[in-house]
Amino acid sequence: MEGGLNKKDWILMVTAQSPTNIAVIKYWGKRDETLILPINDSISVTLDPNHLCTTTTVAVSPSFDSDQMWLNGKEISLSGSRYQSCLREIRSRANDVEDEEKGIFIKKEDWENLHLHIASFNNFPTAAGLASSAAGFACLVYSLAKLMNVKEEQGKLSAIARQGSGSACRSLFGGFVKWAMGNVRLISKDTNGSDSIAVQLANEMHWDDLVIIIAVVSSRQKETSSTTGMRESVETSPLLHYRSKEVVPKRILQMEEAIKTRDFTSFASLACADSNQFHAVCLDTSPPIFYMNDTSHRQVLFSCLQDGSQLLIINYMEKWNRFEAMPQVAYTFDAGPNAVLIAPNRKVATLLIQRLLFYFPPSSDTELSSFVLGDKSILKDAG
C-alpha cells in the first residue's frame, strides 16, 4: 500500500463522546502540580453519556501544518502544559494505522510529524462546576488513543487523562469509579505518576436505580478555577491537611462498602458530609473561596430566591432527610453553585423534583434535569 504521507489530500478522523462525572468523595489538593497527583483518593459516579457529555472529533492530515483545537466552535490554544502532556503521552504510544478503504497507511514514527485538528463540544456549561474539564480531557485522550491506535488499557489511559485535569481520569470509566492517589513514598518523577489511576469499583448496572438530578442554578463560569482554588487550599488550609490524612482514607473505605452493598443511607450521608467538608475547606482557605455563594449577588437563581439558594437547597434537603417520612436523598456540590442531588430510585426522584419545582420554581436561567446513572457504553465511538 502506498504510504499515506506521500499524498496530501487525505484526512482521517475519529469522534468519541465522554460523560462528566460527579465526585461523592472529593479530590481537592495536589501533591504534584505538573503530573497532577492528588493528596487523597476520590470516588465519583459517571453520568449517562447521553446527557452531560463532551463530543470530540480528532482529525489528522498531511495538509495540516500545526496542531489546532476548537472548543464549542472557538479556537483555543494548545500551548498549555496540560494539553501538551496529553498529546506527548499519546503520541509516544502511537502505532501503525491503516485505513484500507481510503488507502491510508500511517507508520508509527510518522505520528511525530503529523499535525492534528481537534474539535470539541460540551452540551452543558463550560467551567460552571459541572466537571467540563473532566469530560473534555477524558474524551480528548480517548479519541486520540483511538486515532493513533494506542493499545493501552483504560487504566493507563486514565493516567494520561489525569495529566489534563485530575478529575478527567475518572470519566474513562462508567458506573462508580475510584481515583487511587498512588504511592506518595515513590518519587513521582520515577514512576511518572503511573500508579495514580482510575479504577472501576462497580459498573452502572450494579446500582442502576439511582437517579441523579442536576439543578443548574448558574451556567456562568466560576470565579476561582478548581486548579487555583485547590492550590490555595493546599498552601493555606490546615483543615485540608487534616481531611486528606485523617478523614478521607476512612471515608473512602466506608463509601466503597456502601456502594458494594448498595447501602443508600450510608452512601447519602457520606456524600453530603464530604461535600460539606470540601466547602468548609474552601472557607478555611486564605483568602476564603465561596463556591456555593458565587452567584448570590449576581443572578436570580431559582426565580423566587435572590440569595444563597444553594444553602437553601442544602437546608431543604437536610429537612427532607430528617423530618419527612421519605427515603434519604444525597446532595453534593462541586466547585460551583450547581446542585447535584442523588435519589435512591425513580419514585423518590419524581417526588423530589415535584417538591423542588414547587419550592424553587424555575426561571429561564434554571434547568432542572434528571439523569439516570450511566448506560453500558460510557465512551462510545461515534466515528
Among 16, 335, 342, 356, binds ligand DP6 (CB under 6 A): 335
Q: In terms of C-beta density within 10 A (0-12 exposed, 13-18 middle, 19 or more buried), how is residue 155 classed?
A: middle
Among 17, 46, 57, 226, binds ligand DP6 (CB under 6 A): 226
The Cα 243–Cα 25 span in angstroms is 11
- The pattern of x and - marking residues 146 through 165 that bind ligand DP6 according to CB under 6 A reads -------------------x
Sheet with 211-216, edge to edge strand ranges: 330-333, 339-343, 211-216, 367-372
Other Cβ atoms closer than 10 A to 7 = 12
204 binds ligand DP6 per the rule CB under 6 A: no
Give the β-pairing of 115-122 and 68-71: parallel
The Cα 123–Cα 51 span in angstroms is 8
CB of 227 to ligand DP6, least distance (A): 3
371 binds ligand DP6 per the rule CB under 6 A: no
- Binding piece for ligand DP6, criterion CB under 6 A, among 23-31, 213-221, 243-251, 369-377: 23-31
How many residues in the shown chain lie near ligand DP6 by CB under 6 A? Answer: 16
The Cα 248–Cα 240 span in angstroms is 10
The Cα 284–Cα 270 span in angstroms is 20
The Cα 245–Cα 267 span in angstroms is 21
222 binds ligand DP6 per the rule CB under 6 A: no
When CB distances to ligand DP6 are compared, the closest residue is 166
The Cα 138–Cα 190 span in angstroms is 24
- Binding piece for ligand DP6, criterion CB under 6 A, among 86-94, 130-138, 205-213, 365-373: 130-138
Closest CA to 209 of 328, 350, 342, 345: 345
- Binding piece for ligand DP6, criterion CB under 6 A, among 126-134, 212-220, 258-266, 343-351: 126-134
Cell of 203: 459498573
23 binds ligand DP6 per the rule CB under 6 A: yes
Among 17, 18, 20, 42, binds ligand DP6 (CB under 6 A): 42
Question: Which residue type is seen at 295?
Answer: T
Among 4, 19, 29, 166, binds ligand DP6 (CB under 6 A): 166
167 binds ligand DP6 per the rule CB under 6 A: yes
CB of 279 to ligand DP6, least distance (A): 9
User: Which residues lie near ligand DP6 (CB under 6 A)?
Assistant: 23, 26-28, 36, 42, 131, 133-134, 165-167, 226-227, 334-335
